[in-house]
Amino acid sequence: MSGEQSSAPEPGRTTAEGGPAIRRLAEWNADRLHELAADHGTPLYVTDLDRVAENCARLRGAFPDADVKYAVKAHTGRAVLESVRESGLGAECASAGEVRRALDAGFPGDRVDYTAVNPPARDLDSVVEWWEEHPELTITVGARDTLDRLAERGYDGRVCVRVNPGVGAGHHEKVRTGAAPKFGVPYDRAPEVVDDARDRFDVVGLHAHAGSGIHGEEDLAAHRDLVARMGELAREVGDGQLEFVDVGGGFSVPYCEDDPALDLNAVADTTREALGDVDATLAVEPGRYVVADAGVLLTRVNTVKPTPETTVAGVDAGMTDLLRPAMYDAYHAIRNLDASEGSAEGPVTVAGPICETGDTFCDGRDLSIPERGDLLAVGNAGAYGYEMASTYNSRPRPAEVSLAGDVLRERETLAGVTRLERGGGGE
């Protein structure tokens, strides 16, 4: 891997194996980001593959005896997956498409887990077909019905049972999975589901996940409660036959400029303590933690409109490029890369070109007042940024490049957006 190295940690910043624990937006080299925007245009995602590797190393350092798997849904790009694989992490996949991406990126079957959530028939068909070539692949099921559907397809391989522990946590109600009935078999029914599965499959693990963006005492307490419940269940049903107990991921990153870093080593110690003595390997599956601060979104100001309440900075990126602010009211740091020292500041609303009121990256935030043509950087865009991009309003999706300048995903064209369409006559 190549690319500009992450900057050194600031004085007093907590560090761990794998580089600085926090990478703030201010630490990205403005000159380099200007060069990339000039070469590739905007909107543009920039991904630092070296930072991906650093984050993987820090996770492995905090969880040296655990099986660390990357939640692929956070960023499925081939270069990122290859970096994760080279760093020694496995791949936890939420769809058949993600399984295919992981295999194509070189993950061996024994490092790929498919966590099937109400899986469509075509997904099961595909994964079972690939399992025949990769028999060490593991399928995690969250419903007894899914066991039946796998058996109907001739699958008799490795199965992990996902449990709903009744404990949820995370940064937004839409990502708190641990108590949502959509995910996993009810905790009190898990032993009978495990017994049923053992009659037909090779049951190798148990799985649960509290949610995404876990941070703060309340969230960490919920995570600790989940892990403890999974330890109890493993001791009840394990009987020496389980390979692993997967307690999910969801480890947070500091989106706000003043938020502290997650004490990953403390979380790891707490996780091991809560799990207790089990005859199985602890497994975790972080996604956001691996890639969030390894990516920024660059966008160019095209319209500046003063209003009595705020200066509206219209930019060429929108909710189709980065959905999190519109969907979760998520905060992302924003930096004007053209602002000079002493530039006037005031309440600024950064708004995209989509015909929706919610298409804003911030509302009335205290920022350097931009001018037309200024380049803005949106921080922590590496997780669930490009992955949630869409073509709403017939807007092609942005390009993605590495910090070294390699094109990782080409910019979509309007012809690409419409390539699958046909007229009413089939032409």
Q: Please, how many CA atoms are within 13 Å of residue 36, restricted to the half-sphere of its CB?
A: 31
Which of 56, 160, 256, 355 is catalytic? The answer is 355
Annotated ligand binding at 421? The verdict is: no
- DSSP per-residue letters across 341-388: TT--EEEEEEE-SSSSTT-EEEEEEEEEPP-TT-EEEESS-SSSSGGG
Annotated ligand binding at 324? The verdict is: yes
Report yes or no: 208 and 246 within 8 Å, Cβ to Cβ: yes
How many whole angstroms separate alpha carbon 37 and alpha carbon 308?
32
Annotated ligand binding at 213? The verdict is: no
Annotated ligand binding at 289? The verdict is: no
Annotated ligand binding at 166? The verdict is: no
Report yes or no: 334 and 367 within 8 Å, Cβ to Cβ: yes
Annotated ligand binding at 331? The verdict is: no
How many whole angstroms separate alpha carbon 266 and alpha carbon 269?
5
Report yes or no: 37 and 45 within 8 Å, Cβ to Cβ: no
Token pair for residue 415?
A: 């012809």
Annotated ligand binding at 70? The verdict is: no
Residues counted in the chain = 427
Q: Which residue bears the tokens 């032409």?
A: 427
Preceding amide of 43 cis, omega within 30 = yes
Annotated ligand binding at 92? The verdict is: no
Q: Which residue bears the tokens 């037909």?
A: 200
How many whole angstroms separate alpha carbon 350 and alpha carbon 386?
19
355 is a catalytic site residue: yes
Report yes or no: 293 and 261 within 8 Å, Cβ to Cβ: no
Annotated ligand binding at 392? The verdict is: no
| DSSP run (H or E) holding 226 | helix 216-237
Binding annotation for pyridoxal 5'-phosphate: 250, 285-288, 384
Q: Detail the residues annotated as belonging to a binding site.
A: 250, 285-288, 324, 328, 356, 384
Q: Which residues are annotated as a binding site for substrate?
A: 288, 324, 328, 356, 384
The catalytic site residues sit at: 355
